C-alpha cells in the first residue's frame, strides 16, 4: 500500500531524529551503551580519576568515528558539574588544522587561547581583564619576536589571528620558528596565564570542587595524503617527549586524542571507547545478547515504541540492521537512514532491508588486495597484526579503524575483528590471492 501523507510525516520525523550529532545530556534518544556492558562505564572512570587526583590531573580520552565520544564527553561534563566542578569545553578543530603538523609550542598557545575563549563564553567576560590572545600579543611584542609588519597586524584582530594560526601554513611556520628557541618562555607565559585564571575562577566560585577543561577533537589530527606522515610524527613527538608539559597546575585537563596513539604509546593510559561487542571472541562468534540488546534499544528510542512497530512490523526486521552494524552507532544510524530513503510502504519489506544492507556494504568496496590480506589476518587472529610503528603502517591501521573496516572490541580484554558487512569479501579476496600465490609457487614461477 503506498505511503500516506501521515506516513510521509512520520518518516520525516524519524529521519530527522537519526542525527549523527552528539546528543546532549538528558536527550530522550540517549541509550547508556557503556554503563551496562562488561567493561564498565569509561565516563565514570574519567570522573572518578578527577576526584581521586585531588587538585590536578591530565587524562587522555579517545574513540573511533561513530563511537559516541563527543556524546559521552558531554555526559562527563554534566556528571562533573553535578559534583561541584567548574567544567569548560573547547573544540580543538576551531583552533587547529587537522591536516597540518603540530608542535608543543603551538599546542600550548592554542590550549590557553581555547580555555580563555571557553571561560569568557561561559562567564560572560574576561575574569582578568584581558583574553589570552591579548596577553600572547603583548608577550610577542615584549619578546621582540620578529614577524613581518603585515603579520604583526593580525594581532589587532583576534579572529584573524586564530584563523591564520589554524589555516595559514606560512604564517604558522614563521610563528613556530620565532617561538622555537623560546619554548621555556612560552611554557612559562602559558602557565602564568592559567595560574591567574585559576585564581580568578576560585575567587568567583569559592565553593567549587575544582576546575576541569575538556579539549575535544584532537583525535582528528590525521593529516592529508601529503602531510599524513608528518602529522603522525608530530603528534607522536608531542605525546611522548612533551607529555608532561600538557599538565597544568591546579587544573584537570582531559584531551581527546587520536586512538592510534595506543599503537605508539604502549605505556600511556588512554581511555578508548570501543565498538559495542555483538559477538564473543570465540571460533563461532557466538552472540553477545547484552550488546545486541543495547543497540536494539537505540533503534527503539529513535523510532519510539509505536513508530518502531509501524516501521518494522516485527522485531527481527530491526535486528537485521543491528546484527550487521559492527557495534557502531554511526553505522547503525546510516543503515536506518538509508532504509527510510528506500521505503515506499509500511511496514518495510525484506527487499528494502536487503537493498539497504547491500548499499551500505558497497560503501566499503572495493578493497585493495594488500588491505584484504592484512584484514584477513586480523579476522583469523582477532589481533591488530600491526608489524611496526612506522607512520605509514600506523596510518593504514588508523584508516581501517576510522572507517570501520576493523573494529576495536573489549570484553575483559582488547581484541579486533573485521566488520561483518565485509568479512566475506575480505576472505574471498585474500583467499584468491593466496591461492594464486600457491599456484605460482607450485609452477616454479
- What's the confidence (pLDDT) of residue 227? 83
pLDDT at 226: 78
CA 386 – CA 314 distance, rounded (Å): 42
pLDDT at 430: 95
d(CA 356, CA 337) in angstroms, rounded, equals: 9
In this prediction, residue 25 has a pLDDT band, given cuts at 50, 70 and 90, of: confident
Pairwise CA distance, residues 255 & 246, whole Å = 9
Task: Tell whether the model's pLDDT for residue 140 goes beyond 90.
Answer: no
Residue pLDDT, tens place only, 368-388:
999 999 999 999 999 999 988
Residue 349 has pLDDT above 60, yes or no: yes
Helices and strands in the chain, H and E counts: 19, 7
Contact 258, 398 (CB under 8 A): yes
Q: Dihedral, CA atoms, 254, 260, 265, 270, nearest 10 degrees?
A: 30
Phi-psi region at 327: left, alpha or beta (left = phi > 0; alpha = psi -120 to 50): left
Q: Please state the rounded mean pLDDT for residues 288-306.
A: 94
Please check the confidence at residue 297 and state whether its pLDDT lies above 60: yes
Inform me whether the pLDDT recorded for 445 exceeds 60: no
pLDDT in tens, 57-88: 999 998 887 778 888 899 999 999 999 999 99
Cell of 378: 586480523
- The pTM for the full model equals 0.86
Q: CB within 8 A of 63, min separation 6: which ones?
A: 69, 72, 219, 256, 259, 272, 273
Is the per-residue pLDDT at 259 higher than 90? no
Q: Is the pLDDT of residue 394 over 60?
A: yes
- Examine the pLDDT at 392 and tell me if it is beyond 60: yes
Q: What is the pLDDT, as a whole number, of residue 149? A: 43
pLDDT above 70 covers what percent of the chain?
Answer: 93
Whether the predicted pLDDT of 101 surpasses 90: no
Q: Is the pLDDT of residue 362 over 90?
A: yes
Q: How far is CA 356 from CA 7, 244, 419, 425, 438, in A?
A: 19, 48, 16, 17, 37
What DSSP string describes 170-202?
Answer: HHHHHHHHHHHTTHHHHHHHHHHHHHHHHHHHH
Residue found under cell 583469523: 380
Q: DSSP string covering 200-232, please?
A: HHHHHSTT-SEEEEEEE-GGG----TTTHHHHH
**Helix residue ranges per DSSP H, 343-415:** 350-362, 369-381, 391-402
How is the chain split among helix, strand and coil, in percent rounded to 5?
55, 10, 35
Instruction: Calculate mean pLDDT across residues 246-271.
Output: 83
Query: Out of 40-54, 78-92, 148-162, which region has the weakest mean confidence (pLDDT)?
Result: 148-162
Grid cell for residue 191: 602557565
Burial of 146 (0-12, 13-18, 19+ CB in 10 A): exposed
CA distance 92 to 253: 13
- Tens-place pLDDT, residues 186-228: 889 899 999 999 999 999 999 999 999 999 988 888 777 778 8
Determine contact, residues 295/326, Cβ cutoff 8 Å: no
Cα-based angle 7, 9, 10 (whole degrees, multiple of 5): 65
Backbone angle region of 32, left / alpha / beta, with phi > 0 → left and psi within -120 to 50 → alpha: beta
User: For the chain, what percent of residues have pLDDT higher than 90?
Assistant: 53
Where residue 150 falls among pLDDT bands split at 50, 70, 90?
very low
Please give the pLDDT value at position 280. Answer: 94
What confidence tens digit (pLDDT) does each residue in 312-347 have? 999 999 999 999 999 999 999 999 999 999 999 999
pLDDT in tens, 310-320: 999 999 999 99
Q: If you average pLDDT over every residue of the chain, what do you get?
A: 87
Does 404 or 163 have the greater pLDDT score? Answer: 404
Q: Is 143 exposed, middle or buried (0-12, 13-18, 19+ CB in 10 A)?
A: middle
Amino acid at each position: 500500500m503506498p505511503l500516506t501523507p501521515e506516513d510521509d510525516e512520520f518518516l520525516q520525523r524519524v529521519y530527522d531524529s537519526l542525527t549523527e550529532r552528539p546528543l546532549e545530556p538528558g536527550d530522550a534518544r540517549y541509550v547508556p551503551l557503556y554503563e551496562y556492558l562488561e567493561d564498565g562505564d569509561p565516563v565514570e572512570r574519567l570522573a572518578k580519576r578527577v576526584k581521586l587526583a585531588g587538585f590536578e590531573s591530565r587524562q587522555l580520552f579517545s574513540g573511533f568515528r561513530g563511537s559516541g565520544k563527543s556524546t559521552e564527553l558531554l555526559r562527563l561534563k554534566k556528571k562533573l558539574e553535578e559534583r561541584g566542578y567548574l567544567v569548560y569545553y573547547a573544540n580543538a578543530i576551531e583552533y587547529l588544522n587537522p591536516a597540518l603538523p603540530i608542535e608543543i609550542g603551538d599546542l600550548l598557545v592554542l590550549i590557553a587561547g581555547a580555555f580563555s575563549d571557553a571561560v569568557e563564553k561561559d562567564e560572560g567576560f574576561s575574569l582578568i581583564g584581558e583574553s589570552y590572545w591579548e596577553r600572547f600579543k603583548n608577550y610577542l611584542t615584549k619578546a621582540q619576536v620578529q614577524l613581518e609588519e603585515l603579520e604583526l597586524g593580525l594581532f589587532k584582530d583576534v579572529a584573524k589571528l586564530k584563523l591564520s594560526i589554524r589555516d595559514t601554513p606560512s604564517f604558522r611556520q614563521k610563528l613556530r620558528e620565532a617561538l622555537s628557541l623560546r619554548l621555556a618562555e612560552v611554557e612559562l607565559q602559558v602557565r602564568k596565564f592559567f595560574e591567574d585564571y585559576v585564581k580568578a575562577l576560585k575567587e568567583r566560585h569559592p565553593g567549587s570542587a575544582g576546575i576541569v577543561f575538556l579539549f575535544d577533537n584532537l583525535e582528528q589530527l590525521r593529516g592529508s595524503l601529503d602531510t599524513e606522515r608528518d602529522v603522525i610524527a608530530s603528534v607522536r613527538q608531542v605525546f611522548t617527549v612533551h607529555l608532561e608539559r600538557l599538565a597544568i597546575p591546579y587544573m584537570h585537563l582531559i584531551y581527546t586524542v587520536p586512538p592510534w596513539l595506543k599503537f605508539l604509546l604502549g605505556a600511556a593510559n588512554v581511555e578508548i571507547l570501543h565498538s559495542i561487542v555483538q559477538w564473543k571472541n570465540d571460533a563461532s562468534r557466538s552472540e553477545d545478547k547484552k550488546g545486541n540488546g543495547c543497540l536494539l534499544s537505540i533503534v527503539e528510542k529513535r523510532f519510539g515504541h509505536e513508530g518502531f512497530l509501524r516501521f518494522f512490523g516485527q522485531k527481527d526486521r530491526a535486528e537485521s540492521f543491528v546484527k550487521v552494524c559492527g557495534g557502531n552507532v554511526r553505522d547503525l544510524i546510516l543503515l536506518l537512514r538509508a532504509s527510510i530513503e528506500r521505503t515506499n510502504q509500511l511496514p518495510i519489506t525484506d527487499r528494502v532491508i536487503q537493498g539497504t544492507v547491500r548499499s551500505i556494504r558497497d560503501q566499503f568496496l572495493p578493497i585493495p588486495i594488500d588491505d584484504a590480506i592484512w584484514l584477513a589476518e586480523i579476522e583469523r587472529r582477532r589481533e591488530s597484526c600491526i608489524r611496526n610503528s612506522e607512520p605509514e603502517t600506523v596510518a593504514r591501521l588508523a584508516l581501517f579503524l576510522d572507517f570501520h573496516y576493523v573494529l576495536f572490541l573489549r570484553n575483559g580484554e582488547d581484541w579486533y575483528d573485521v566488520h561483518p558487512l565485509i568479512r566475506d569479501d575480505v576472505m574471498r579476496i585474500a583467499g584468491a590471492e593466496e591461492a594464486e600465490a600457491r599456484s605460482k609457487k607450485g609452477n616454479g614461477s
